[in-house]
Amino acid sequence: MKAKILKVLRERGDYVSGQQLCEQFQVSRTAVWKAINQLKEEGYEVEAIRNKGYRITSSPDIITKEELVSQLHTNWAGQEVYYYEEIDSTNTRARQLADQGAPHGTLVVADCQHTGRGRRGRVWESPKGKNIYMTLLLRPKFSPDKASMLTLVMALSVYQGLKETVDLDLKIKWPNDLVCGNKKVVGILTEMSTEIDYINHVVIGTGINVNLEELPDEIKDMATSLILETGCRQKRSAIISAILKHFEENYETYLETFDLSKLQEEYNRILINRDQEVQILGEKQTYTAYALGINEKGELLVRKEDGSIEAVYAGEVSVRGLYGYVS
């Protein structure tokens, strides 16, 4: 009830009478009044004027299920939301939900992660109440070799979603991070469960440093947050909603060709490594090359010192600048 009332008040952006809410949801005046009080307790400011009704005048920065549902403008992404105040990892939870049959588009969001993960077992610092930790569950009908490109589709969507909500110059660091200047703001981790020729599910986890004013010591030197860069507090739910909307569009575009051919131009435009000398850190070898941009498979094309062009596959390597994390 609370979620439905919140959604109506949000969408109207003006007064909605108690009578109308009662009729629309077939509930008593007391039930409406109770739901409004619960919203106030959560930090929403709701104006109540006799003969006019209720109007939301401000919302808190929370990412509860009700808050997210009232903000979403998607067809399938986030139509089922699981919110946790604390969790081990949203990716782990999404995988469990997938095993239990949760549908394509299920979204897991948490206010804090105890064991947030990066690639290859690295830690994703996930303090409480400030950042976004979310995982989108997909059930693609294509072969497993195509799934790694979804990390890049999400990176592009996060870029577009943030562009819409925050005034900040962000770039993508291939394949899965967003950076501001030389510092990391967003990390993306894609994991999947597959059989030889089909995908059971894919989970795409995204961590965004949003209102975090003090970074943990471990990442102080190479990370930043939206508030540190802009000086402005952001509404996390608005950011999540914008990202999901873009992801839905980009995913549909991806499905037209099953590759990035229609998305690669935009990705390359905002790729910080493009036309830069980079170090490719592989498991077996490390070398310096000149990054040209991604191809339609999401591989990074680099020109090696001997002039040959190589397509680097994201799963195997990390990319660094010559002197630091980015440049």
Question: Which residues of the shown chain bind ligand ATP in the complex (CB under 6 A)?
Answer: 118-119, 122-125, 176-177, 184, 187, 189, 207, 209, 219, 223, 318
Output 138 or 186, the one with its CB closest to ligand ATP.
Answer: 186
112 exposure class (CB count in 10 Å sphere: 0-12, 13-18, 19+): middle
Q: Provide the minimum distance between the beta carbon of 263 and ligand ATP in the complex, in angstroms, as a whole number.
A: 20
Is the bond preceding 175 in cis, omega lying within 30 degrees of 0?
yes
Q: Provide the minimum distance between the beta carbon of 35 and ligand ATP in the complex, in angstroms, as a whole number.
A: 35
Output 71 or 318, the one with its CB closest to ligand ATP.
Answer: 318
Instruction: Give the C-alpha separation, 61 to 71, whole Å.
Output: 12
Output 105 or 207, the one with its CB closest to ligand ATP.
Answer: 207
Give 195's contacts (C-beta < 8 A, 6+ positions apart).
Answer: none
Output 43 or 282, the one with its CB closest to ligand ATP.
Answer: 282
3 close to 70: Cβ distance less than 8 angstroms: yes
Using CB atoms, what's the residue nearest to ligand ATP?
118
Q: Provide the minimum distance between the beta carbon of 52 and ligand ATP in the complex, in angstroms, as a whole number.
A: 44
176 close to 151: Cβ distance less than 8 angstroms: yes
Output 70 or 92, the one with its CB closest to ligand ATP.
Answer: 92
81-84 vs 107-110, strand pairing mode = parallel
CA geometry: angle 212, 113, 171, nearest 5 deg: 50
DSSP class per residue in 59-105: --S---HHHHHHH---SSTTSSEEEESSBS-HHHHHHHHHHTTPPTT
In 155-275, the DSSP E strands lie at: 171-173, 177-180, 183-194, 199-208
Q: Provide the minimum distance between the beta carbon of 189 and ligand ATP in the complex, in angstroms, as a whole number.
A: 6
Output 140 or 187, the one with its CB closest to ligand ATP.
Answer: 187
170 close to 178: Cβ distance less than 8 angstroms: yes
Q: Provide the minimum distance between the beta carbon of 191 and ligand ATP in the complex, in angstroms, as a whole number.
A: 12
List residues bridging with 223 in a β-sheet.
184
Q: Provide the minimum distance between the beta carbon of 186 and ligand ATP in the complex, in angstroms, as a whole number.
A: 8
286-294 vs 107-110, strand pairing mode = unpaired
CB atoms within 10 A of CB 209: 27
Q: Provide the minimum distance between the beta carbon of 135 and ligand ATP in the complex, in angstroms, as a whole number.
A: 14
Output 112 or 219, the one with its CB closest to ligand ATP.
Answer: 219
Instruction: Report the candidate in 237, 217, 39 with the shortest Cα–Cα distance to residue 131.
Output: 237
Output 1 or 227, the one with its CB closest to ligand ATP.
Answer: 227
Q: Provide the minimum distance between the beta carbon of 216 and ligand ATP in the complex, in angstroms, as a whole number.
A: 7
- Residue 304 gets which letter from DSSP? E
Q: Provide the minimum distance between the beta carbon of 309 and ligand ATP in the complex, in angstroms, as a whole number.
A: 21
Output 59 or 131, the one with its CB closest to ligand ATP.
Answer: 131
List residues bridging with 303 in a β-sheet.
290, 309
